[in-house]
Amino acid sequence: MAGLVLSAVAVWTRTIVHSFSRQILLSIAFFSTVIALFGLALTYSRGGWFSFAIGFLVLIIMVNNGKVILIYLFGIFIMVLTLVPSGSQRTFSILEIENDPSIANRITVWKGALAMIADHWVHGVGEGKFGTQFSAWYQPILMKTSYIAALNNYFTLGAENGVFILWGYLVLLLVILGFSVHQAWRNQNILLLGISAAQISYLVSGLFTYSLTFWHVTGMFLFLYSILLGYLLMCLWNDPCAKIRFLQDTSSAILLSTFIVSLIYATGAYLSMKLPTATEPVIAQSRESSINGFLVRPKKGIEKGSIVYLHDNEENILEIGKTIMRPLAKRGYVVLAFSYPMDGIDGLRDSLELVNWSYSHLHLRKICLLGTGVGGRNAMLLACSNPMKQKISCVAAINASVDWPFPELAPMQQIKNLNVPLLAFIDSDCTDIVSGEMQIFEKACTAQKKHLEVQSFINADKTSYDKWFYIFQKLDAFFNSSL
């Protein structure tokens, strides 16, 4: 929108300067520009307003004839912002950074994106994966809003594709734009000055929004940029002196792009250092197959122990990064989780092999097994198995499934092998858990004088965050007493 307005203004300026007597065309250009300005104002996009203002000011500076008319138009734009409903309030809200949730959230996302760029500076996290990675490892735990991009073209591109792609993107844009601006300014080519100002406006708007995948916007950008590219090639073909200027502009673009990318990386590295936890992907071997997982470590304080988390969210392990793994790591634990099917004998065997792999390859000690759902059942079964006696310090199960899959693994028989503390969380909404085999399991523990602690919680009385905060407090106390 801002680019179209600037192009129209440039053409209108040319009309005034060269064809002032054409009153009809002048009137059409005037009213078209005013309507476009009203349309821009009604978007209520502060980033759009700011980028338009920057592009317009650049156009005023570059144009030799018609500056007065452009200044009048800029004044009309300011007046339009005051005329639209809540326009003035929306404009001055830019200064209220601390009190504006939109600005505060945007800054939070930018900080996470910069840290992500520093952590994955070579290849990035992968195209289209910013949202899931940010939510899992960088988004504040209490922040519920989800984002698919970094609300910034450059940060999103760097986070998903790495700093080298970002550097190349900046060099390409700055080389073509810089050369075209110099040539158009030097020759006072009004059309190219308008297109160049529109492109500058678009690049500035990329600081406040993500539009690379919006093809109606990117298509217009590429169309205007192709005009600049064609103009560049034409100048290089016809003007020998243009080649020298092109080399100078290329050198300047490379230096500027290098400085920008270096600044982004340095800022991201600083922000990454301030994060309370560090995350690294791991690949384990189980039954001749590779299983992907994540290891989260605390950055500050002494590591209390290691938690191997057996979960039943095989489809998206990243969902538990924010809700479970990071909160436990912030409390001082090294947390490891893998993505694999939990059900059946294969799931139990994989759980056993992954705990052994964690013990031997990652050298995790003081291992606490934590499981939810089917993972909680497998955690209890592993605690009762002979191979785990020297490796597992304690077990905590949350809403463990009591549908024991194999007749030979009946709770009454297996409990004789239990030699570590066991904590069971029971949701009172899950009536099947507080009956049947769970009662047998509890009675067996009592008969064998084993360490069994049962905690209950009610979903209806607690929010999701309050429930997990309660669980984390109990887990922390249980692990501290068991390690």
Q: Give one DSSP letter per residue of 463-481, joined into a string.
A: -HHHHHHHHHHHHHHHHHH
Q: Say whether both 266 and 308 belong to one domain.
A: no
Count the domains in the chain.
3
Q: Say whether both 9 and 108 belong to one domain.
A: no
Which of 275, 291, 310 is the endpoint of a domain? 275
User: Tell me, what's the pLDDT at 260?
Assistant: 94
On the CB side of 374, CA atoms within 13 Å amount to 14
Q: Using the Cα atoms of residue 89, residue 212, residue 274 and residue 164 in order, give the sign of their dihedral.
A: negative
User: Tell me, what's the pLDDT at 178?
Assistant: 81
Q: Say whether both 83 and 192 belong to one domain.
A: no
- Give the structural domain span for 6: 1-95
User: Tell me, what's the pLDDT at 458?
Assistant: 52
Interatomic CA distance for residues 375 and 373, integer angstroms: 5
Interatomic CA distance for residues 394 and 413, integer angstroms: 19
User: Tell me, what's the pLDDT at 3?
Assistant: 47
Interatomic CA distance for residues 84 and 302, integer angstroms: 57
N-terminal to C-terminal alpha carbon distance within the chain: 62
Which of 250, 275, 300 is the endpoint of a domain? 275
Q: Say whether both 355 and 478 belong to one domain.
A: yes
Instruction: State the pTM of this model.
Output: 0.81
Q: Say whether both 232 and 258 belong to one domain.
A: yes
Q: Say whether both 283 and 425 belong to one domain.
A: yes
User: Tell me, what's the pLDDT at 169?
Assistant: 92
Full strand arrangement of the beta sheet holding 289-298:
277-286, 289-298, 333-338, 305-310, 367-372, 392-398, 422-427, 452-457
SS3 406: coil
Q: Say whether both 402 and 349 belong to one domain.
A: yes
Which of 275, 300, 316 is the endpoint of a domain? 275
Q: Say whether both 74 and 166 belong to one domain.
A: no
Q: What is the pLDDT of residues 122-176, one digit of tens each?
A: 999 988 889 888 888 888 887 877 888 888 999 999 999 999 999 999 998 888 8
User: Tell me, what's the pLDDT at 257?
Assistant: 93
Q: State the CATH number of the domain containing residue 399.
A: 3.40.50.1820
Q: Say whether both 259 and 290 belong to one domain.
A: no
User: Tell me, what's the pLDDT at 117?
Assistant: 95
Q: Which residues of the chain have pLDDT under 50?
A: 1-5, 431, 433-435, 460-461
